[in-house]
């Protein structure tokens, strides 16, 4: 397909600016900005007047519940939710059922996406250990050869620090990225809320910030020891941001992300045991939320993710400590990012880099740029379209949102993947 997008406002995350120009796409690539190549002939034209053209979002932490949990979601439902909300690339952690610890599971995911998906790019993250049991290392070389873009043990603990060091050594030898969500499971215990006044008042078992920071301190030391390129996922504490900031200043090969809901919600939002506010890591204090925002602004936090965790209705109807943690985040990721722009955290082009350019660079993926020769994974967004968040209208199978009733702006009108128009509102 040869496509001409005219009257476009291009959001350039590389240059950090907005540019008004026509865009020309052929054979899945951007072939011209402003003017078309001499031999170019468009087979389709889209008038983007009044809208913005952006790189497709890259979500570096998305659970599709496939394979293994069809009652919650599947590749078909969640890839459709992704493309209708401007997300062209999804990175799925290895805690599927069965785990992504062998090539057969990787091939199954690719096959199911080809058969049932809605053309979004789905990239598996391989397991660090077999069965995520934390004891024997997985065959990372084979998993990488079959398309795993990084390695993680998700939220499952490793048996000890020696296993973790060997895993990081192995990954470093494969020039592979290690993704760690820092959790000290002994300190985590059976907690479900941030350790503070709210948990005390509600009588909820609490999770101290040390459950994250103690693990993170150990993880950073192992990065220094092994040299393994490491990405820390879903940070939630002010001290974590400062630790990453200082580690980066020392030149360690470290990057980090946080779930976008952590930039808006705090422990007070639990209210009277609202299980839609139950997350892991938990919603922290306002001080932590403000520090996370500062980390996003100064570059200590490189990426934002949805940490999408769709659930069936029953999973959230249990008493707060027994309910399953997680928020369905695909339908609100772009809208929350635009709200961060409105609240002055970062300008649009710089904020968008946290969802496009930066994850593409860290994970070694296509996309994230609007430039000649780049893959045409693009979205067209009406930034002035306002809507009220209602889970009943979610495209995702998961309706468990923490943002019911919020007033958002920004609607995706078109989504292109490899230059193909896969969604048009």
Residue 357's SS3 state is helix
Domain containing residue 64: CATH number: 3.20.20.140
Instruction: Mark whether 219 and 173 lie in a shared domain.
Output: yes
Domain containing residue 386: CATH number: 2.30.40.10
Instruction: Mark whether 387 and 349 lie in a shared domain.
Output: no
Handedness of CA 281, 287, 293, 294 (dihedral sign): negative
Instruction: Mark whether 230 and 193 lie in a shared domain.
Output: yes
**Of residues 62, 73, 158, 150, the one with CA closest to residue 116:** 73
Handedness of CA 23, 29, 35, 41 (dihedral sign): negative
Instruction: Mark whether 339 and 412 lie in a shared domain.
Output: no
Residue 308 structural domain: 56-363
User: Using CA atoms, how far apart are residues 393 and 204, in angstroms rounded to an integer?
Assistant: 32
Instruction: Mark whether 49 and 74 lie in a shared domain.
Output: no
Helix (H) or strand (E) holding 290, with range, is helix 286-298
Work out how many domains the chain is built from and give that number: 2
Instruction: Mark whether 195 and 265 lie in a shared domain.
Output: yes
Flag whether 396 is in a domain. Answer: no
* Tens of each residue's pLDDT in the chain, 425 residues: 899 999 989 998 888 889 999 999 999 999 999 999 999 999 999 999 999 999 999 999 999 999 999 999 999 999 999 999 999 999 999 999 999 999 999 999 999 999 998 889 999 999 999 999 999 999 999 999 999 999 999 999 999 999 999 999 999 999 999 999 999 999 999 999 999 999 999 999 999 999 999 999 999 999 999 999 999 999 999 999 999 999 999 999 999 999 999 999 999 999 999 999 999 999 999 999 999 999 999 999 999 999 999 999 999 999 999 999 999 999 999 999 999 999 999 999 999 999 999 999 999 999 999 999 999 999 999 999 999 999 999 999 999 999 999 999 999 999 999 999 999 99
Flag whether 369 is in a domain. Answer: no
Instruction: Mark whether 141 and 32 lie in a shared domain.
Output: no
Flag whether 400 is in a domain. Answer: no
Say which residue the tokens 């397991």 belong to.
127
Instruction: Mark whether 249 and 212 lie in a shared domain.
Output: yes
Q: Catalytic positions, please?
A: 307
Instruction: Mark whether 252 and 219 lie in a shared domain.
Output: yes
Instruction: Mark whether 255 and 213 lie in a shared domain.
Output: yes
Flag whether 397 is in a domain. Answer: no
Flag whether 129 is in a domain. Answer: yes
Q: In terms of C-beta density within 10 A (0-12 exposed, 13-18 middle, 19 or more buried), how is residue 251 classed?
A: exposed
Flag whether 107 is in a domain. Answer: yes
Q: Biggest alpha carbon distance in the chain?
A: 70
Say which residue the tokens 């968040």 belong to.
389
Q: Give 307's Cβ-side CA count (13 Å radius).
A: 26
Instruction: Mark whether 323 and 278 lie in a shared domain.
Output: yes
Flag whether 343 is in a domain. Answer: yes
pTM exceeds 0.85:
yes
Q: Is the peptide bond before 395 cis (omega within 30 degrees of 0)?
A: no
Instruction: Mark whether 246 and 107 lie in a shared domain.
Output: yes
């Amino acid at each position: 397909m040869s496509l001409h997008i005219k009257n476009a406002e291009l959001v350039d995350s590389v240059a950090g600016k907005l540019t008004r120009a026509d865009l020309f796409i052929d054979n899945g690539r951007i072939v011209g900005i402003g003017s078309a190549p001499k031999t170019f002939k468009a087979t389709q034209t889209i008038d983007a007047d009044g809208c913005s053209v952006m790189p497709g979002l890259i979500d570096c932490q998305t659970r599709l519940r496939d394979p293994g949990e069809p009652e919650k979601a599947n590749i078909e439902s969640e890839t459709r939710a992704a493309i209708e909300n401007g997300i062209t690339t999804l990175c799925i952690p290895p805690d599927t059922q069965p785990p992504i610890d062998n090539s057969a599971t990787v091939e199954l995911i690719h096959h199911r996406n080809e058969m049932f998906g809605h053309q979004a790019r789905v990239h598996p993250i391989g397991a660090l250990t077999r069965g995520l049991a934390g004891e024997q290392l997985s065959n990372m070389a084979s998993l990488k050869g079959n398309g795993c873009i990084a390695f993680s043990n998700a939220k499952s603990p490793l048996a000890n620090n020696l296993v973790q060091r060997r895993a990081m050594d192995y990954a470093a030898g494969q020039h592979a990225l290690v993704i760690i969500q820092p959790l000290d499971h002994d300190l985590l215990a059976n907690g479900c809320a941030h350790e503070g006044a709210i948990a005390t008042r509600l009588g909820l078992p609490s999770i101290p910030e040390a459950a994250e920071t103690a693990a993170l301190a150990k993880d950073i030391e192992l990065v220094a020891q092994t040299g393994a390129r490491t990405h820390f996922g879903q940070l939630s504490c002010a001290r974590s941001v400062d630790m990453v900031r200082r580690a980066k200043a020392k030149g360690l090969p470290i990057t980090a992300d946080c779930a976008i809901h952590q930039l808006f919600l705090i422990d007070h939002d639990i209210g009277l045991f609202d299980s839609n506010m139950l997350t892991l890591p938990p919603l922290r204090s306002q001080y932590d939320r403000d520090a996370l925002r500062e980390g996003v602004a100064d570059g200590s936090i490189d990426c934002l993710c949805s940490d999408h965790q769709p659930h069936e209705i029953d999973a959230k109807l249990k008493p707060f400590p027994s309910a399953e943690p997680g928020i369905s985040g695909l339908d609100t990721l772009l809208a929350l990012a635009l709200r961060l722009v409105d609240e002055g955290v970062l300008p649009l082009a710089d904020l968008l880099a946290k969802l496009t350019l930066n994850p593409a660079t860290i994970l070694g993926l296509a996309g994230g740029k609007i430039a000649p020769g780049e893959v045409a994974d693009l979205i067209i967004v009406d930034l002035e379209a306002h809507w009220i968040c209602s889970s009943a209208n979610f495209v995702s199978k998961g309706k468990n949102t923490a943002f019911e009733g919020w007033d958002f702006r920004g609607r995706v009108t078109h989504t292109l993947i490899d230059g193909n128009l896969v969604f048009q509102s």
